[in-house]
């Protein structure tokens, strides 16, 4: 009997339910990222990596605000849903801080860990944009696109940071 109820409930779920689940996932992820960024900034060796993490923390506060606005447009409370994927990515970043603390490769590792976060967010925002378009929620699409644009810019900035010397310093100092 319980299986039948569960199957009936699942059968009644549509794209809006899927969108809202994804939104909860991303809200949880952004909140976790907000907690992780100060630790990464503090652990970084170079001022440029620290500054990049601090800048992204400020942007992430705006991302959370936009997500709360999206929840509001759906008439739903802003609530997160545990996201094992972001938990794992952030855990890898924490391990990087512990295992490479004081090592020449720390900043390169932190930049790489941050890019893993960005790539996850880019994928999730892209999916939510597609679903919001399908649902005819152009006002929501606009909010999500603004955040996606910032996530892509952050990923590009991290790439430049690696290419402008962080990765090279890790090689030179290790030699």
According to the model, what pLDDT value does residue 104 have? 86
How far is CA 148 from each of CA 39, 65, 68, rounded to the nearest angstrom? Answer: 24, 14, 15
**For residue 112, what are the domain limits?**
15-174
Instruction: Evaluate whether residue 43 is within a structural domain.
Output: yes
The radius of gyration of the chain's CA atoms, rounded to the nearest angstrom, is 19
Instruction: Evaluate whether residue 4 is within a structural domain.
Output: no
Q: What is the pLDDT of residues 94-123, one digit of tens each?
A: 999 999 998 889 999 999 999 999 999 999
Question: Could you tell me the pTM of the whole model?
Answer: 0.89
Instruction: Evaluate whether residue 1 is within a structural domain.
Output: no
Residue 7 clears pLDDT 70, i.e. is over it: no
Instruction: Evaluate whether residue 74 is within a structural domain.
Output: yes
H helices, E strands: number in the chain: 7, 0
Instruction: Evaluate whether residue 102 is within a structural domain.
Output: yes
Q: What is the pLDDT of residues 147-162, one digit of tens each?
A: 999 999 999 999 999 8
How much of the chain, in percent, has pLDDT values that exceed 90? 82
Instruction: Evaluate whether residue 52 is within a structural domain.
Output: yes
According to the model, what pLDDT value does residue 174 have? 54
Number of domains composing the chain: 1
Q: What is the CATH number of the domain that holds 40?
A: 1.20.1260.10
């Amino acid at each position: 009997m319980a299986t039948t109820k569960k199957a009936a409930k699942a059968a009644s779920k549509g794209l809006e339910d899927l969108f809202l689940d994804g939104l909860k996932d991303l809200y949880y992820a952004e909140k976790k990222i907000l907690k992780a960024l100060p630790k990464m900034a503090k652990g970084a060796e170079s001022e440029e990596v620290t500054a990049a993490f601090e800048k992204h923390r400020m942007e992430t506060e705006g991302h959370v605000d936009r997500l709360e606005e999206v929840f509001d447009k759906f008439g739903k409370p802003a609530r997160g849903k545990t996201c094992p994927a972001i938990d794992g990515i952030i855990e890898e970043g924490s391990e990087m801080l512990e295992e490479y603390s004081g090592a020449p490769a720390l900043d390169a590792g932190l930049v790489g860990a941050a890019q893993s976060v960005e790539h996850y967010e880019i994928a999730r925002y892209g999916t939510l944009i597609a679903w919001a378009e399908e649902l005819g929620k152009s006002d929501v699409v606009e909010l999500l696109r603004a955040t996606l644009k910032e996530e892509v810019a952050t990923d590009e900035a991290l790439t430049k940071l690696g290419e402008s010397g962080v990765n090279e310093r890790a090689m030179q100092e290790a030699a």
